[in-house]
Structure 1
Amino acid sequence: SIGGIICYLFLAEKGYALFSLYKLFEIVTYFAIGFPIAKLFSSKVTIKENIISRLKTAFTDVFVVVALVSITIGAFLNLSGIERPEFYKIINAIFIPLGTVILLISIGLGMKFGKVRNYIKECLAISVIKFILVPLIVSATAFLLGYGEIEEGLPLKVVIILSSMPVAFTALIPPSIYDLDLDLANSCWLVTTLSIALILPLLSFIISLI
């Protein structure tokens, strides 16, 4: 994702490792809370799911399973004392950016750019939420929890970066499967993603102060 590559570029591999943990909880929240809420606004007849079913769906998601397995293996190797091969740095330097590029291309192929002008107000509202309100609340919470005192503030830096990211690709899924306003979701994704060019210099400055 965009947040992942920015963590990697700003904070190197340690930052990307924390991104994976952050993303794991984020995905679980999407499936357990976000998707069921989105389903309530669907015009389709849907079957109500209890919290157990939602959590089961979340923890059987491919991303969550892969993330959990990868983290477990990585933790085991770290504790075992086995030195990591140097070529892993090269692999990460190639595949982390490549994954983001492939994701952006796949979204762009289905994007209806002409629809954006119909949702300018909504896009501006989402931008304020994504780039001002959420970062302020989440970063302040992380600071109060003492994240700035851990690993030279690395967890706090990751939280600041990821809480300031644009609308995620995952946000495009509920409109597709629940017959919601996909053009609105696409427009918000496009506008906030393009806006990240303005946010990055500010993020870089804030991170440098920690």
Structure 2
Amino acid sequence: MQKLLFTLLLIIAGLVCGYLLQRFIRKNIEHHQLLLPRLRKSLQVFSMLGIMPIAFVGVLWIVPFGDLRVALLPVLAGVILFSGGGLGLLAAALLKKSSQQKSTLFCCGFFTNIGSFGGLVSFVFFGEKGFALLAMYRLFEEIIYYGIGFPLARYLASDDTDLRIGRRILELFRDPFFLVASGSFLLGLLLNLVGVNRPPFYETLNSLFVPIGIFLLLVSIGLGMRFSNIRQHLRLGLAISLIKFIILPLVGGTAGYLLGLHNMMDGLPLKIVLIAASMPVAFNALVAASVYDLDLDLANACWLITTCGLLVVLPWLYFLFSLI
């Protein structure tokens, strides 16, 4: 129970701190439109380029890779992400939404907050091994998001038939976030396979770095929170919640079980899949909505509703994991 309470408190504290700071800046600083994006970016850079790579190296250094079925985790991630996007499009078709809203619902179903929320839950619930398996699960996440997800969002909202996926993938390989994350993953994996012993202090280091790094990411998310027009899009927000919190965990859990992930490491890989498949809409959905002139209010509503839905989802996952 302490793990559940710590996770919920850290998520709430990070989001609330970010939101209150946003309100203070909007009220007291004249050029807040320029300051807020810069502050969000600075927090993300410090966390994702400074703190989290050290943690990634440490956890991948010790995770056991004896069973090759672990390599199926990033494949499962792709299946779940594309299933979410497809279900978002299906919801838009059933509800007869415009092309802008269709693309927005695709983004909300597709983009998932695996990194900050999923990373925190995996680490607090299951320690470094859980966090390492989540890193393996996320192996192709950036390529899928920026190489396929963003071009598809643009394509669905316009008459342009040029997806430009190849160009987006080439641009991705110049992105410092992608390069640092990939480099830390490969370094940790190399140290693991070579058999170098990890220094004893690294466990203590990660026990501090992972919560601090994720807390900073949560504060950056809180800096972008907006509560306007939630009621107007409540129905669609609940539809996305159904996809995120019920259908996708069923898809991921069933696929993971059929692949035998429950027979590995006391079922830890299957539990990580369930965590990742149960996470809310990622902030990338709002980025895509803003960049491609989609329905930004709808994206914000779905993002906020599903983020608040974690207050129900996390206790359910904690209870479920106590049974399996």
State the TM-score, normalizing by the size of structure 1.
Answer: 0.89
Q: Which amino acid aligns with 2:149?
A: G
Report the equivalent of 1:209: 323
- C-alpha spacing 1:94/1:191, structure 2 compared with 1 (3 Å): same
Q: Does 1:8 align with 2:123?
A: yes
Report the equivalent of 1:48: 162
Report the equivalent of 1:38: 153
Identify the range of structure 1 (71-80 vs 6-15) with the bigger mean alpha-carbon deviation: 71-80
CA contact (8 A) 2:151 2:164 kept: no
Report the equivalent of 1:96: 210
Q: C-alpha displacement at 1:94, in angstroms?
A: 1.9
Identify the range of structure 1 (86-95 vs 127-136) with the bigger mean alpha-carbon deviation: 86-95
- C-alpha spacing 1:101/1:60, structure 2 compared with 1 (3 Å): same
For 1:48 and 1:61, locate their aligned partners in 2 and report how far apart those are by CA, in whole Å. 22
Q: Deviations over 1:38-80 (max 9, x none)?
A: 102446x979344432432444443332222112111221233
Q: C-alpha displacement at 1:185, in angstroms?
A: 1.4
SS in 1 for 2:141: helix
Q: Does 1:107 align with 2:225?
A: no
Q: For residues 103-182 of structure 1, what are the structure 2 equivalents within 5 Å?
A: 103-182=217-296
Report the equivalent of 2:132: 17
| Large movers: runs of 4+ above 4 Å | none
SS in 1 for 2:275: helix
SS in 2 for 1:113: coil
Q: Which amino acid aligns with 2:242?
A: V
Which of structures 1 and 2 has the larger relative contact order (alpha carbons within 8 angstroms, sep 6+)? 2
CA contact (8 A) 2:151 2:165 kept: no
Q: Which amino acid aligns with 1:172?
A: L
Q: Which amino acid aligns with 1:149?
A: N
Gaps of 5+ in 2: 1-115
Q: C-alpha displacement at 1:131, in angstroms?
A: 0.2
For 1:12 and 1:73, locate their aligned partners in 2 and report how far apart those are by CA, in whole Å. 20
Q: Which amino acid aligns with 1:13?
A: E
For 2:124 and 2:263, locate their aligned partners in 1 and report how far apart those are by CA, in whole Å. 22
- C-alpha spacing 1:16/1:203, structure 2 compared with 1 (3 Å): same
Gaps of 5+ in 1: none
Q: For residues 182-201 of structure 1, what are the structure 2 equivalents within 5 Å?
A: 182-201=296-315
Q: Deviations over 1:138-179 (max 9, x none)?
A: 110111111112222121110011101111122222112112
Q: Which amino acid aligns with 1:5?
A: L
